[in-house]
Structure formats: structure tokens, C-alpha cells
Structure 1
Amino acid sequence: MEDYFGKMARSWKASLLILGLPLLMSCQAEYFNKGHLFIRNQERLNKGSSDVPDLWFNQTLDHFNPADTRQWKQRYFVNDTFYKPGGPVFLQIGGEGEANPIWMTHGSWIDYAKELGAYCIQLEHRFYGKSHPTSDLTVKNLVHLSSEQALADLAFFTESMKRDKFPTNKWVAFGGSYPGSLAAWFRLKYPHLVDISVSSSAPLIAQLNFKEYLGVVEAAINRTNSDCNEQIAEAVKSAEGLLKRRTGWWMLQKKFNLCDPLQGDNRKDVSNLFETLAGNFMDIVQYNEDNRGFEGSKTANISINTLCSIMTNNDTGKTALDKYAQVNSLLLNALNENCTDFKYSKSVKNMQQTDWNSTAADGGRQWTYQTCTEFGFYQSSDLDGQPFGNEFPLDFSVRECRDVFGSSFSPEFIQKSIFWTNANYGGRNLKVSRVIFVNGSIDPWHALGITAQNQTSDDNLVIFIDGTAHCANMYPASDKDPKELKDARAKILQQITAWLKE
């Protein structure tokens, strides 16, 4: 797992940012590739305590076809340490990565469970981790992978648990990133089953061209060091200049320690390379100064300030491009990678694998399928004024769907799927109550979420934390946490407590 997520994340285009927790809760997963929220650095995660055993639930394959009676075994974890009879049931929603049992004993939701005497459950998302509904990952089988089916899984699981064990208890759903969206949608679609939801860093609007992502990255960098973006832009401009001649291709290959020779006239490889280099900053911004250290994150101590200190160093012997390459080397070393993998054909070939034992099955193929059939979320370079150039436009991201899954996955097909997602759930206009929407100002995904109280009804609570990144409120508390983050966690507990008493 460690080699896979360290190396393949780059070859899959560093922007699959993620939703993405390990995602075990999506926010644990970080990010894989284009448009993809969150799974780049799952390699960093501690796989948790062996004291938390795998449990299995007989789940329905297709909840919307009564004639299909097939079932499969879905993995879940429980922690009843803090449970007091009559207390609430906390349900942590899994996302686009393997569910991690370490979250059964860590995280802010565990602190809330101690206060409220809650019974804690984490349910792994279908098609991720060990939850295998079908024999393989062919497109024919992936038709059963969708947020709607995942929500129905939650409903069927919750209803069964209510019937067998918790007939009168109140339920509180938690999720971050994509699972944060699921938490809000679970309350929307099945309000009779879940009483309260805490939706952290949730992108609620499906969007084909998520060009605003780099706009938030630019603003977050500028907030830290106003000269940093200027140096990034100069470095990118220099790299683009080197693409114009063959000697320049060789120079880029050497400077960025590329795994293969660079052909500057291969637009797919060029786009992949420039997105990968931008992804160095995108990843660090998205998870800036969070508290992932308990998971064993190899980049937990690397921040925006770390990267910008390199970019704005006054060493007259180094150009902006040299510093951009130094940032890349820093990330390579941190993730124990030998070189920068940028070949588009390699990433496509990998994600075309359909066997459960393949590296693609660790989450990349599945999440790419969901972005192609539901969400988009493609973090293109199409936003004017951002410093990372324009070498990875929207059509580069969209092409990947066709190349991996077939010609029927056209731009028109993807856009229609996105229209349906927003029609189905409501985007920011979802009609829901008793949901706590939490976002951080540095997290690029807040651009697709609910960040102000006037964007929803008074029956919900909106918390927008200045200066924090993706899912920061979900991680265990740290002495280094800013006051705004501490206050947000306290406010979440206060609101859950109040709603439970009503």
C-alpha cells in the first residue's frame, strides 16, 4: 500500500484530491488523481489497532431492483467502549478508500462519544477496501457503484441495526469530504433513519470544471507568502519555455527527476507532468497543518510555509524553476519515491485493470468511475490568473474517462450525469434539517460547499473556520490547534447535544 499510494498518486495526476478521506472517511484518504478528491496519500495511514475486528453485514447488491436478490458482505467496525444504554448511535460513513479502524479510537467524534455515551460504528463504502459487491471491477459491475446505492446501503444497514439492537436510539451520521456529502444526503433522503448529520468539508455541488480549486490554492498560498505565487508562475513559465526545444525536454527530465524520457510534443504527458507538479502544492494546501501525524503521515510536517520558504529563498544561484524542482524533490523524498512518474499511458493502463488484486482496485479505478458518472470535480488549469499555467485544461481530465472506461463515457455523458446529481440532491439548495455543515477557509473544496448560514435554513448549523484545511475538525485535538478550530469542535458538540435532547 505504501509504495502504491506514494508512486501511483503522481502517475494518476496529482489532483484527484480528495474528497479525498481515507476516506476511510474520505478525509483520511487524501487524493488520487484528477478531480478526485482525496486519495493521494493513503499510503501514509496507520492501519489501526488489531483490537478492532472486521465485522460483516449481509448487504443488498441493487437496492432499486427488487427482482435482483443478490447479496454481498459489507465490512464494518464497532466501538462500544463509551456506550451507555439509551445513548445515541454514531455512524461514521466510509468513502473512496479503505476503512481504517484507527478511527474507531481516534478523532473528534470519539471525544463526542465519550461525552454523550455513544455507540460507534464505521461502515465501509461499497467497492472500496474489503467490501467487494462483485467479482471484479469491469464497467458492467461498476454500474452498482454510486452514491445512491451507497446511501441505500447506509439505510438498509441502519434499519437492520435499529430492528435488532437499537430500536429507540437516536442516530448521528459523520463524514468528511465525499462522506461528508453522503452524511448530508443521508439525512436528506432518509430522515426517518438518521436524526442528525455532521457534514465536514463536503462538496455538495457536482461540477464538471472545478477550476475554482486552484483559485483557493492561490489565495491560501498568498495568505502565507505574497511572493510565493509570483515565483511559482515564473517557474511554470520557464518550464513552458523549455518545452519548445528538445534540449529543454532533457533539462526538464533531469531537473524534475522524471521516470521516463519527456517528449515535449506529447500533450497528454505534458499535461500530466504539469498537473503533477502543481499537485505538490495542491496536496499540501488541502491538508495544511492538520493533525494527520497520528496516522503516520509522511508529509504531516510539510506545510504551505515549508514550500513557500523554498520558492522565495533569496539564493541568487537558483532560478524559480530550480526552486520548483526542489519542492518536487522534497515531496519525492518524503514519500520515498525514486522519480516523478508522469506517463499518461501508464496511469491509464493501470486504471484499466479490473481485478480486485490489482493496484487500481485500491481505489483509483472506482473513484475515477464515480467522477465520470456522478461528480466531475476536475481541477483544471482553466482559471485565469492562477500561477500554475494552463497545461492541464478540462478536456485533458475528461479524456481520461473515455480512455479508461470506453468511448461511451463522452463529455456529454459526464455532463448529463452531473446535471442529474445536482437535480437529485439539490446542490446547495438541498432541503434538509439538523445538519452541521463544517468547512475551512484554506480547504479548496469549500468552494463547492455550504459556508454561510444564509445558504441554508435555520434548522441547520454552518461553521466556517478561518485558516483551517480539509476536514481539520475531524482529526484528534492538538495543542497547536488554532482557537477557531477548538471553538468549532466545541460548537459541534454543543449543537449535537442540544438536538439529541429535543
Structure 2
Amino acid sequence: MTKPLFIIIVLITILSSTSASRRFVGTHKTHNNINVVQQQYTYDIKYFEQTLDHFSFSDNLPKFQQRYLINTDHWVGPTRMGPIFMYCGNEGDIEWFAVNSGFVWELAPRFGALVVFPEHRYYGESMPYGGRDEAYKNASTLAHLTAEQALADYAVLITDLKRNLSAEASPVILFGGSYGGMLAAWMRLKYPHIAIGALASSAPILQFEDIVPLETFYDIVSNDFKRESTNCFDTIKKSWDVITSVGQKANGLDHLAKTFHLCGKLKSSDDLSNWLDSAYSFLAMVDYPYPSDFLMPLPAYPIKELCNRIDESPDGTTILDRIFNGVSVYYNYTGTVECFDLDDDPHGMSGWDYQACTEMVMPMSSNRNSSMFPEWDYNSTSYAEDCWDEFRVIPRPTWITTQFGGRNIKSVLQSFGSNIIFSNGLLDPWSGGSVLENISDSIVALVTEKGAHHLDLRAATADDPDWLLEQRATEVKLIEGWIADYYKKKKAVFNIFNDNLPKFQQRYLISTDHWVGPTRMGPIFMYCGNEGDIEWFAVNSGFVWELAPRFGALVVFPEHRYYGDSMPFGSLEEAFKNASTLAYLTAEQALADYAVLITDLKRNLSAEASPVILFGGSYGGMLAAWMRLKYPHIAIAYRKLKSIDEFFYWLESMYTYLAMANYPYPSDFVMPLPAYPIKEVCKAIDDAPDETSILDRILKGASVYNNYTGKSECFELDDDPYGTMGWNWQACTEMVMPMSSNRKSSMFPEWDYNFTSYAEECWDEFRVIPKPTWITTQFGGHNYKSVLQTFGSNIIFSNGLLDPWSGGGVLENISGNIVALVTEKGAHHLDLRGATADDPDWLVEQRTSEVKVIDGWIGDYYKKMKAVLSIDKGSLIAHIAKLEAEIYNLQNQMGILIIEKKEWEANYEEMKTNAESAELALKRDYAAHVAALAEAKKKEESLKKALGIEKECVSNIEKALHEMRSECAETKVAADIKLAEARSMMEDGLKKMTDANAKMQAAEALEADASRSRRAAERKLHEVEAREDDLRRQMNSFKSEYVFNFLIIT
């Protein structure tokens, strides 16, 4: 047979090396587990209009509707910064993942969380181009099916969702299993400003290139079968040759099709082998400890069931019939399927074939010596040829590691990651490509020996083993810590912006009778309300009303808080109740009221460009004066309307470039210019004869920039000598940098930034709509200091304060290795220019500092690499000589060590016996407790029959049992931790006994430590026994209550 080239993450798709066709293997025609979702979890189904290509700004591409599921039943809301739990949708229908991710739903009430399940593009109902047929039409329409685009979808969706819910301060926790787990981990790394943590379950982020051995996946599958039955393992291993041999005979394919009850004709024995291969791999993934129907309806521990059917087949049963009996556990456990279709895809996952042929290239091989599968060596050439035949694309096997990392994963995650849980069960074949050891205190690997494919994300059941309860309890504890840390950092914001305070209704009077409207930028006259009823001030402020017709103005009289009808806390009595309720009656708060009101009013009237004139008398006059000082961007004293033509723009650009290139020596960066060109411009203007007109003076100054060489006879206003037109496109798409000018503080005309007109100009020029928030969504920006402190390192931000762009630069140190170098007389990236003899001292010093910092980065890198590199020969020889000397000395002490060893062995055995006895006692007590629970359950069953309310009773009892078992599990976790500490102390003692590195002096101290640990363990065991007694008392009470209720009813 020929080996499949890859297997996908949740449901495996096979690609034969001899055929480009990809198939979902197995029939599910009568099985649809998505329908049960409505019975278990409730949610609203919504759609969000997504951009097809987030990384391009062409408006020619259509939008598409992304489906997402949302539930707010348990959300405590934005005012309490209730968390948001988001599951990163996988390669399939999102409702299917929702119903199989019960852990997320069960956590929501505990954390008061909103739950959202966004669907992955090109899967389920989230189809670009209007439908699946068009979306999957060819490589061009599939081009936007990538992990990067999916992550951008999630980032844009959650940002918009938080904005619409006023939940910008709510922390986001990501969840995901398998490919969804990979997306969750990658999103935490790529968008750390959007999500504070991620639970990545069964996420094989290392299953790329040759980071892990290519045989890992199939070796784990094989070991899962071997641990259940060596005979089962051997039977499957022999079956491949039998299938190939039979398939080569006359009518052999028909015989195979009949033996395995296939619906149609078998084209090749390879197709059957791939079908079986998939079943074994699926079973290894979902070898759950209880019945499930994630992929198919399956019993508990389905591999054990499969091997039992193979091993217990009657004598004389052929090997093919044994295999069919076994594989029917996966494909037909319910016994309702009459025949099998090898090409079925019930979950709409065929898009994964394309992803596997582009970026999700996970090479696999199998070794016949170490696995039950046939020999197969991965061949990148044939893999690429199959992908080309199918999609006309060439795979990029190194793209994922380039985009998200993978090699040196420990170093990468230590440097740039935080708050990620990588959970894995070692029965899951994908665990071999996952992170299996802790990276740091906040990047944790939770590994369970008997766990399967993202088992921890499934809903809790009464059959959950203790180790699964403990794993979930640990995950909950870590997530609680992330959220608590987030709230601690937000505590200062809580103190200032306390959303728990009630809102209040502020009254204001408004007249638009004489207003000429927003299109003519009609002014707004605002009177700052005094300490009294606003209507009284309105009737006594006739000057404001009389000016309105003359200026075509809108008039507004806002009322001062705590006066007239503008009473907080609902009434005058409550507002004036005490110092606490009156604490918000201040001039500062009143000014903020006016600023918020006038800003919202202008926005609602589309009057952002309308000037505001303030009026006020007495206290109101003080408020008007103070507001002008405190909020100069909102209110002006007088403003002229302006227009900027091409000539104005030409002059403004020239002055801006001069500020940028105001270098201390002659240069030709933007134009041939003298040293300190601004000084030359001003000198040309100032030294002009007295009779020179202002326009001629401006021309003389402008000539310094535009004609310093004296060769130009005239100037072309729309010339683009630097080829910067591309920047106009970028500025109209993502590089939206809003700017205004204030005539009082600058030499430029008054100009207020207006996004509407900005967008209109971009549309006229490029037919695109700017995305002003995209850069901050993609790369962060808000709270940049916190973001850089948390996730950044080794960055120099250099700025010269003469450069107008320095105002938007980082001008202060963020951390010890994110440094701001600021020079008072520096201009636009002057430090990057070549050194000259005219460089001033401060520039030389700046560059020296930069060199020193860079030298430190490189030095640190070399230090880290030195530990990895082998020791040089001379050092190695010296090291060996030292070791030989130590060995010689140790040999002299060996006799003493042997004596000490016997003593330590005796102590160790005694301690081990005590620990094992204690553990055995604990297990006996726990077994008794479980037996008591089982007995209680039996009595509950009899009560159900007697009372005739089976469903309600079962639900209540199972909930109680699960809570008690969870509580018991937490107690057991604590006890196990103490026992582990005791064992650790014993292991340390044994190690120190056998290790000859001068550890004997600490023997007595270690023995004392071990004794103290043993006593501590005994005390803890006593505590556990007391807890068990308490649980027994609770159970007895529980039984008595049920008996009592039963007696009352009967």
C-alpha cells in the first residue's frame, strides 16, 4: 500500500501518494450530533461582515458573512469587566465544536463570562463568494483560506464586539482544541493586546518540518494499541500485506469490498488501507474513558473494545474478518450502518485539503519496526506534485514556522510569550507534536498519561476519572490567576472610572432656528450653566440669543450638575444626602459634562467641523474661561473659515520637509539643502529689503528648499520626484495618521481633522475606505507602554525633537532593554545617515549609545549561545582532568559511601513503606467513599422509579455527585501534592547517596528534612482522613434526607 501524506487535526483527511483525491474517511450518513447542541447549550446565532483579505486594501474583493455563536446568560456585563471566553473555530461547522466543548460553557457561570464561538472562514456557513461551490472553485477563490486570515477575522470580530458592548475593558480568554488550539496559542502570541491568555488543548504547533521525528504520530497510535493487546497489534501489522496480496488477485478487490461491506466498488487496495489507517488514528485520538459521539458513536476506551473483538474472534476466523470485526467498533458501533462509503465528509472539512497543500504541511512517516503500520517515508516532491494536480498550488512547508515560530520553541516562548496552557493526553497521537514541558511560570504544559484528544475541553460527566478532574481544576486555577492579575492591573482604572456609579440625566436647552447647519460649519454658541436652574440663566442671557441670527448659530444652554432638574441619584434629597453623594459636585466634573455633551451633540449633528463659542456670567463666566483653558480643542474664541488649495499644500509640504531635514550639515536627502536649512529660509525672508512684499519674501524662502542650486526656472506643484505615490495608497488604507493644526499655536492655517472628508478623498482617489483602527488592531498602540513592557524587548526608539514626527514617537524608556534616545537638536532619522566630519558631538554620542546598546544585545546573544555550543578543546581537556581527579578522590571514599549507602537504603525503604502505607490507606478510604457514592446512586435509582420523576432526579443527583467528586478531587490534589513532596525528598536522599560529589556532609540534614516531611505528610493524611469522615457524614445526611423524603411521599 502507499502511505497517506498527512492527517488533519480533528478529523483526518487522507492524501494518497498515488492519487491527488482527498477523502474524509468513514460514513456518517445516519449520524448527526450537531442537532443535539440546542438541547445542551443555548446561544444566539449572529453574522458579522468580514473583510476577505485583511492584508490588502483592494475594494474589489467581496465581503462575506462570518457566523458566530454568542451567549450572554451568565455575563456580569461590561461595568464589572466580565470576561469574554472565545473558542477559536476549527476546520468545520462551528456548532459541532460548540456542542463538544462543554468545558467552556461550564466555566461561564463560574466566571460570569460571555461565550462566543466564531466560525472559521471557508467552513460551515462562513463561506466567501456567496456559497461553497464558488468559494472552492479554484486556487484563486481559495487563496484567502489561511490561518493568518482566520486569526485576523477573530481579532476584528472580538474588537468590534467589545466596542459594541462597551466592553473594551473586559479580558478575553481564548480556548481551542487541535487546530483550534493552535489558533488559540498563535493568537495569544500575535495579538497579545486582544487576549490575556489561551488554553490550547492538543495543539501540535511543533508538527512541522522535522521539529519532531516524522514517525512520532504513527508510533503513538501503535503504542496505544500495543498497550491494550500485543496480539491485536500484531494482527493489524500483518493485515496490510494480506490486503495488498488479496487485492492483487483476480476478483480480489471485489472480495475485499464484500468482506468490509463497502457500498461501492473498491478501486484499489490502497483506498481500503487508508480507510483502516484513518479508523485506527481516529480511535487513538478519541480513546476516551467513557462513551462518546464526537466523531462517531463509540464505547468507553474504544481501542480496548476493538482489540477485544479481534482477539476474541472464533478460531478459524480469517485475519480480514478479524480486522472487519474490530474496525466496526469505529464505523458501526450502533450496528445501524449496512454498508460503508469511503468518500463521505459529513462535517464539511474538505477545505483542510487546501490548507494542507499550502501552509499546514505536517510531514509524517512510519517505521515498520516501531509501529503497526507499513513502512512509509515522507516524500516532499510527490506531496507537492499531488497538491499541484489537485489545486494548482505549491506547498510552503516552512511558512508556519516562519510566521509563528516552532524551532527553538522554548527560547521563543520564554522571550515573547505568556499565559498559555498547552494541555495534552499522551494517548493522543498529536501529543507528539505538542508542547509537553513547562516553558515558564505562565506558559504551562499539563500532560495526562491516559488523556486523549482535547478531552479536557469536553463537558464534565459522572464517569470522569480523577486525573481528568484534577487537570481541569488546575486549568481553572490558572485561568483564575490570569483574570485576577488583569483585574489587579486595572484596579487603578477602577478607582478613577468607577462604572458602578449611576448615570444621571443632564438637562439642556437647544435652539436651531437660526443655525445655517453643519455643511456651512455653522457655529455653536454654548452658555456654561451656573449654580441654578438653566432656564433662569437662559432668559437672562439675551445677548447670546441676539447674536445667533447674525452668525447663523446654534444655541445650547446645558444645566450644571446638581442644579435645576439635573440631579444625580434620582432626586435632590438623595443627591444632597451626604458628603459621599455630593462628592461629584465640582467644577472639574461640570466642565467634563459640558465637554462630553458638546462632543456628542456635534457628532450627532454631523457638526464636527463647527466652531464652538463659550459664554458665561459670574460662576458661569469662570467656567467658560476655565473650559477654554482646559479644553482648547473643543472651544475657540473666534475662527475663520479656510480653504487649502494646491499652492498652500505645496508650501506646507515644503515647510514640513525642512523641519524633517533640518540637518547640521549640507545634505540632499529630500532636496539639495544647506546646513540648518530652516535658518537659511528664515534668513532669506528676514533679510529681504523693506519694500519686498510678503509673497516675494515667501518665494525667497521657498527657493532655499526648491531651488537652492539655482537651476530651476519654475516649479511644478504636483511633481513627485521621490516616487512616494504609493504612500498615498497606504495612507488611504491602513496608515491613517490624523492631524490638525491650531492657528494660535502654529504658523499654519486652522485645520480640524475630519475623517468623513478624509475618507471621501480616499474614495475619489483610490475607491477604498480607510481603516483608521486597523494598525492598532493588528500591532497594538493603545496602552503601548504596558504592551511593550509585557511583550517587547531589545528595541531602540531614537528621535530628534526638531523632527515633527517625534511627537508620535516613543520618547521615554519602556524597560531596561526598550530604550528611547532623544536628542534636542536632532532631525528626521539623522542618526541613520553616514558619519561626516561636521557631525556635532551630541550626534556622535547618540550613535555611540546606540552602538553600545546593540553591542549589549549581541553580547547577550553570544552568552546564550555559548551554553549551547560545545566547549573548546583546551577547556574540555582541563575539565576531563578535573573529573579524573575527583573520581580518584571519590574512589578513596567509596568504602565509607557503601556503609552510608546501606543506612540510606534502610531509611529510604522505611520512608517508602510509610508513604506507600499512607497512600494505600488513602486509596482504601477513597474506594470506600466511591462505594458509598455508588450505593447512594443505586438508592437514588430506586427513588427515581418510585417517584416517577426520573429525568429531574437524575439531573439533580448527577450534579450533586459531580460537585462532591470535584471537591474530593481537589482534596486529593492537595494530598497528592504533599505526598509528591515527600517522595521528592526521598528521591533527593537516594540521589545524594549515590552521587559522589561531596554530598555526605549534608546526610544528617537531609535525613532530618525527610523526617520533617514525613511528619508533615502524616499530618496531611490525618487532615485528609478528617475530610473523608466529614464527607461520610455528609453522605449519611444525604441518604437520611432522601429516605425521609421517600417516607413522606409514600
Q: Same fold (TM over 0.5)?
A: yes
- Classify 1:297/1:93 alpha carbon distance in 2 versus 1 (closer, same or farther; 3 Å): same
Q: In 2, are the aligned partners of 1:14 and 1:276 still within 8 Å (CA)?
A: no
- Equivalent residue for 2:34, pick from 46, 51, 59: 46
Q: Which amino acid aligns with 1:403?
A: D
Q: Which amino acid aligns with 2:192?
A: P
Give the secondary structure class of the aligned counterpart of 1:87: coil
1:95 to 2:90 alignment: yes
Give distance in 2, aligned partners of 1:374 and 1:78.
30
Superimposed CA distance per residue, residues 248-280 of structure 1 (whole angstroms, 9 cap, x where no aligned partner): 4443233223344446xxxxx332221111222
Shift of 1:319: 2.9
Give distance in 2, aligned partners of 1:107 and 1:15.
32
Q: What is the match of residue 59 of structure 1?
A: 50
- Classify 1:327/1:292 alpha carbon distance in 2 versus 1 (closer, same or farther; 3 Å): closer
Superimposed CA distance per residue, residues 342-392 of structure 1 (whole angstroms, 9 cap, x where no aligned partner): 5xxxx5xxxxxxxxxxx8795343110001111123555456432132479
Superimposed CA distance per residue, residues 212-231 of structure 1 (whole angstroms, 9 cap, x where no aligned partner): 22111011111222322111
Shift of 1:451: 1.0
Q: What is the match of residue 151 of structure 2?
A: 151
With 380-389 and 421-430 compared, the bigger mean Cα shift is at 380-389
1:298 to 2:297 alignment: yes
1:389 to 2:374 alignment: yes
With 297-306 and 196-205 compared, the bigger mean Cα shift is at 297-306
Superimposed CA distance per residue, residues 432-459 of structure 1 (whole angstroms, 9 cap, x where no aligned partner): 2100110110001111110111xx2333
1:253 to 2:257 alignment: yes
With 192-201 and 50-59 compared, the bigger mean Cα shift is at 50-59
Q: Which structure has greater helix proportion?
A: 2
Shift of 1:295: 6.0
Q: In 2, are the aligned partners of 1:92 and 1:122 still within 8 Å (CA)?
A: yes
With 361-370 and 183-192 compared, the bigger mean Cα shift is at 361-370
1:229 to 2:229 alignment: no
Give distance in 2, aligned partners of 1:76 and 1:229.
43
Q: In 1, are the aligned partners of 2:289 and 2:465 still within 8 Å (CA)?
A: no
Superimposed CA distance per residue, residues 113-160 of structure 1 (whole angstroms, 9 cap, x where no aligned partner): 221111111101111111112241122111011000001111111221
Q: What is the match of residue 461 of structure 1?
A: 444
Q: What is the match of residue 279 of structure 2?
A: 280
Q: What is the match of residue 390 of structure 2?
A: 404
Shift of 1:498: 0.8
Give distance in 1, aligned partners of 2:23 and 2:217.
11
Q: In 2, are the aligned partners of 1:202 and 1:449 still within 8 Å (CA)?
A: yes
1:117 to 2:96 alignment: no
Q: What is the match of residue 23 of structure 1?
A: none
Q: What is the TM-score when the length of structure 1 is the normalising length?
A: 0.81
> Matched residue pairs, number?
452
Q: What is the match of residue 180 of structure 1?
A: 181
Give the secondary structure class of the aligned counterpart of 2:234: helix
Give distance in 2, aligned partners of 1:326 and 1:190.
49
Give distance in 2, aligned partners of 1:98 and 1:338.
26
Q: Which amino acid aligns with 1:479?
A: A
Q: What is the TM-score when the length of structure 2 is the normalising length?
A: 0.40
Shift of 1:305: 0.4
- Equivalent residue for 1:425, pick from 387, 397, 404: 404
With 363-372 and 240-249 compared, the bigger mean Cα shift is at 240-249
- Report the identity percentage: 28
Shift of 1:41: 7.8
With 426-435 and 388-397 compared, the bigger mean Cα shift is at 388-397
Q: What is the match of residue 5 of structure 1?
A: none
- Classify 1:178/1:169 alpha carbon distance in 2 versus 1 (closer, same or farther; 3 Å): same
Give the secondary structure class of the aligned counterpart of 2:421: strand
Shift of 1:57: 1.0
Give the secondary structure class of the aligned counterpart of 2:44: coil
- Equivalent residue for 1:76, pick from 65, 68, 76: 68
Give distance in 1, aligned partners of 2:111 and 2:83.
7
Q: What is the match of residue 266 of structure 1?
A: none
Q: In 2, are the aligned partners of 1:177 and 1:202 still within 8 Å (CA)?
A: yes
- The alignment's C-alpha RMSD in Å is 3.1
Give distance in 2, aligned partners of 1:291 and 1:125.
29
Give the secondary structure class of the aligned counterpart of 1:175: strand
With 160-169 and 99-108 compared, the bigger mean Cα shift is at 99-108
Q: Which amino acid aligns with 2:38?
A: S
Q: In 2, are the aligned partners of 1:180 and 1:202 still within 8 Å (CA)?
A: yes
1:308 to 2:303 alignment: no
1:141 to 2:131 alignment: no
Q: What is the match of residue 477 of structure 2?
A: 494
- Classify 1:274/1:191 alpha carbon distance in 2 versus 1 (closer, same or farther; 3 Å): same
Give distance in 1, aligned partners of 2:346 and 2:296.
22
Give distance in 2, aligned partners of 1:325 and 1:426.
42
Q: What is the match of residue 471 of structure 1?
A: 454
Greater Rg over alpha carbons, structure: 2
- Classify 1:254/1:214 alpha carbon distance in 2 versus 1 (closer, same or farther; 3 Å): same
Shift of 1:64: 0.3
Q: In 2, are the aligned partners of 1:34 and 1:379 still within 8 Å (CA)?
A: no
Give the secondary structure class of the aligned counterpart of 1:293: coil
Q: In 1, are the aligned partners of 2:67 and 2:118 still within 8 Å (CA)?
A: yes
Q: Which amino acid aligns with 1:448?
A: G
Give distance in 2, aligned partners of 1:91 and 1:64.
23
Contiguous gaps of at least 5 residues in structure 1: 1-12, 21-29, 264-268, 348-358
Give distance in 1, aligned partners of 2:8 and 2:25.
5
Structure 2 counterparts to residues 163-202 of structure 1, below 5 A:
163-165=163-165, 166-202=167-203
- Classify 1:385/1:221 alpha carbon distance in 2 versus 1 (closer, same or farther; 3 Å): same
Superimposed CA distance per residue, residues 256-315 of structure 1 (whole angstroms, 9 cap, x where no aligned partner): 23344446xxxxx33222111122221111101266737694235570001111222262
Shift of 1:328: 3.5
Shift of 1:203: 1.3
Give distance in 2, aligned partners of 1:371 and 1:109.
28
Give distance in 1, aligned partners of 2:23 and 2:190.
23
Superimposed CA distance per residue, residues 5-41 of structure 1 (whole angstroms, 9 cap, x where no aligned partner): xxxxxxxx99975421xxxxxxxxx344449999978
1:215 to 2:198 alignment: no
Shift of 1:53: 3.0
Give distance in 2, aligned partners of 1:364 and 1:426.
26
